[in-house]
Amino acid sequence: MSQRDHHQLPVHEVVLLLETDEQLGLPDEEVRRRLDQFGPNVLPHLRRHSPLVRFLLQFHHPLIWILTLAGVVTAVLGEIVDASVIFGVVVVNSVIGFVQESKAEAALDALVAMVRTEARVIRDGAKEVIPSSDLVPGDVVVLDAGVKVPADLRFVSTSELHVDESALTGESVPVTKHPLHLPAETLLADRMNMAWSGTLVTRGSGVGIVVATGADTELGEIHRLVGAAADIATPLTRKINTFSKVLTVVIVGLAAVAFVIGTLRGESAKDMFTAAVALAVGAIPEGLPAAVTITLAIGSARMARRHAIIRRLPAVETLGSTTVICSDKTGTLTQNQMTVTHIWVDNETFTATGAGYQPTGDILDKAGRPVVAATGGLRDVLTVGALCNDAHISDSNNGWEPVGDPTEAALVVAARKGGFDVEHNPWRRVDVVPFESDRQWMATLDVHHGQAQVLAANVKGSEAVVALCDRQRRVDGTDRPIDIDGVLAAANILASQGLRVIACATRPAPNGTRTLTDADVASGGFVLVGLQAMQDPPRPEAATAVAACQRAGIEVKMITGDHGATARTIATQLGLADSDSLVMTGADLTACPDTDLPDVAEATTVFARVAPEQKLRLVEALQARGHVVAMTGDGVNDAPAIKQANIGIAMGQVGTEVAKEAADMVLADDNFATIEAAVEEGRGVFANLTKFIIWTLPTNIGEGLVLLAAIAAGTTLPILPVQILWINMTTAVALGLMLAFEPKESHVMDQPPRDPNRPLLTGTLISRIALVSGLLLASAWWLFTWELDRGASTAQARTVAINVFVAIETVYLFNCRSLTRSMFQIGLFSNPWVTAGVAVQILLQAAFTYLPVMNRLFHTAPIPPAAWARITVIAVATYILVGTEKWLRNRRTTTNRKEP
């Protein structure tokens, strides 16, 4: 039998199977033997590359190869400073990648740390405290409130035991535990006789037998899934890789063609090799990696201001490509704070406003009017909920927080909203009958302070409380015979809405009574004062954010470990589903073949009672359909799927360290609305990267074409290699990088997500690059020959050619600020960085042209004002031509959209 099947066995069979004794535990000699057999109770370290290998792998990228080649070539040409700059870009990019990868692998270390604790065990009949790493299968472990479960356990006995399993299963409230065996098909989240390593005991006590340790635990399975989850290439990474490979082929091809043409014309092989190298240097976009890194970093900073903390830079752009967001429910779409929303008293339902544990809000009657001070039946149901209660709420630096069970804390908040003074009320507890899962209620005996003879027995719990009652209270405070069918029908209506229903009842106690027993309560005679229904409510901003994502063409799916009815209710409130929508459970997923799952995952919006490996399976199924998947979550159970997703998103406030370390992005405010804001920023980042590429490529292609044309014509090179490096490096920094600061355009969220398979450069953009490249070739060649024909020196002619390149790049920069609109439509000064960059570039070109030291270093010469006039005319003409081409294409696109 698998160690995962112990839930279906009676306790005595588990004891026999594990060859242990639930009273005496294991003898020390047997413990040592099993420790040798099973190993320590720790999660194994997965094999990883050494730091050196991981650093070297950062260089395994086509674009890095191109840059390295550029650096080598530049060094061969004797330009040590320029070569150093290029190699610096290579090293900086590799260091950034190495650091980010190192942080990502910390997710596994965080998982390992979760099971480093101590355990109370019974061995040889004596209780002792040992390191949890020394536990072995068959050990008998004692659990108390506040203790972290040290291994997977099958309970032998329990007493009011509640375990918070939200980090593992997604269950929003602590789970009541018992030792009874369960059906074999019981889902992990419903195995009430089991406790899982890494979860937390919130109340009560229990004794359990260790059934799994280390890698064999459910936490160990998650550890394996996190380690096995593949690192998914981002859309940008894939596009840049493809683009780099194509660019490599083009550059090598152009250089080879130049070499062959020159040698066929009778030029020396040495001179042609130098010319071919110059052409290659000109065609390499040295500033591209720096532009990518800086643009992503700026996007990351913008997201941080909107509470989205980026842990891995490529995630900035990936968000803009997202087609599906798989969201956990508890703490992500909801507030992770139980809140009473409905109060039923004798066929009248009151509504409670406000959410969470902050005691603000109103109780509204059926007409929607606020109840200033609760009276009659409403006052009584709130009073019973507050008195029959072991929890309270505390105002801390982090806001109002529950101390005790979240369900009971919600009842305290509801009482305060109804005007009940919880801290200074006149009632004092005399005795209590604690809650037990087999009877499903808790009872207290309370005395009215100042009226010592007034005693009341109060009881709250599940629908089992109704069986204890023979009367029910009206809204006006009077009593009538109980309508059991009516009460149960009201409870069912509330439960069908995904609400957790708590029944409250009371009865007078005889004077002088100071004890309350199970038998006293079971004798009945209570008055049902009402029902309180609660839920973990949706975040107020979540519905708006979901709607914004849907308008942007992004599917939002809820994947939760909570119950199906609760999941459907929240999904309906958020606009993700309606009351008739299909909710697929973990059992349904188990029965679904892998071949059918991608279609099922595509068609379904709400998934409930989902196990960790099933979340991972759903993400993989959606990726198989070509989706770019974002997975949000806060628990340990979310970590494998978060790591597998194209963009993993963890909650910053309530998220576990495991989830945060596995994620690409952390939401500082735990707000789903922040995801929508991050997607908006991500789309803006990709747009700015595209703008930079569209801006920089014509320069590189134009430089290559000018050199190729000169080689083919057998004339003097219009631009030297060192001058090409000047153009590329200065314009990339002073002009191109300014596009990284471009504000996102207003329509960025009115478009569907980009097709992940669409190439980086579309046909429209390629034709624009070709247009500008052709204009650069014609303008530089024409002005170079013009100056030579009119008696200018070669140095002056080359200086003019260089300046016309820079001038066209400058005006083209304004064309590239938007790929569809003019700079006047987006605002001439809406990006002040562009204005500053242009000013810096003008100063650099003035120094390049007129300073003697620059003339010596770059083989340039001063040029007359008439040359500047010609350069200016050509630059303005280029801006007009590109702007006209953009306008005509937009007009044609608009016309096509209007046609039926």
The β-bridge partners of 131 are 118
Cβ atoms of residues 740 and 298 within 8 Å:
yes
Cβ atoms of residues 449 and 428 within 8 Å:
yes
Q: What is the dihedral sign for C-alpha 567, 568, 570, 571? A: positive
What backbone phi and psi angles, to 5 degrees, belong to 593? -65, 150
- How does 853-867 read in b/e, with b if 16+ C-beta sit within 10 Å? ebbeebebbebeeeb
Q: Give the integer Cα–Cα distance in Å for 689 and 392.
A: 52
Q: Give the integer Cα–Cα distance in Å for 713 and 204.
A: 91
Q: Give the integer Cα–Cα distance in Å for 504 and 410.
A: 14
Helix (H, G, I), strand (E, B) or coil at 577: coil
- Total residue length of the chain: 900
Q: Give the containing element (helix H, strand E) for 630.
A: strand 629-633
Q: Which of 152, 216, 328, 638 is catalytic?
A: 328
Write down the residue that tokens 């040992």 correspond to.
130
DSSP assignment letter at 645: S
CA 795 from centre of chain = 56
Q: Give the integer Cα–Cα distance in Å for 801 and 790.
A: 15
- How does 238-271 read in b/e, with b if 16+ C-beta sit within 10 Å? ebbeebbeebbeebeebbeebbebbbeeeeeeee
Count of other CB atoms within 10 angstroms of residue 208 = 28
Identity of residue 684? G
The β-bridge partners of 16 are none
Helix (H, G, I), strand (E, B) or coil at 220: helix
Helix (H, G, I), strand (E, B) or coil at 223: helix
Q: What is the dihedral sign for C-alpha 663, 668, 674, 677? A: negative
Q: Give the integer Cα–Cα distance in Å for 558 and 568.
A: 9
Nearest to 7 by CA among 153, 131, 109: 153
Count of other CB atoms within 10 angstroms of residue 359 = 16
Q: Give the integer Cα–Cα distance in Å for 413 and 392.
A: 9
Helix (H, G, I), strand (E, B) or coil at 11: helix
Q: Give the integer Cα–Cα distance in Å for 383 and 404.
A: 18
- List of residues 6+ apart from 837 with CB closer than 8 A: 734, 735, 737, 738, 813
DSSP string over 454-496: EEEEEEEESGGGGGGEEEEE-TTS-EEE--HHHHHHHHHHHHH
Q: Give the integer Cα–Cα distance in Å for 631 and 657.
A: 16
C-alpha torsion angle, residues 450, 454, 459, 464 (rounded to 10): -170
- List of residues 6+ apart from 87 with CB closer than 8 A: 68, 71
Count of other CB atoms within 10 angstroms of residue 715 = 13
Q: Give the integer Cα–Cα distance in Å for 618 and 188.
A: 17
Using only the alpha carbons of the chain, give its radius of gyration.
35
State both tokens at 763. 């046909």
> Is 328 part of the annotated catalytic residue set?
yes
State both tokens at 47. 């094999």
Q: Give the integer Cα–Cα distance in Å for 115 and 133.
A: 8
Q: Give the integer Cα–Cα distance in Å for 546 and 550.
A: 6
State both tokens at 155. 């309970």
Active site residues: 328
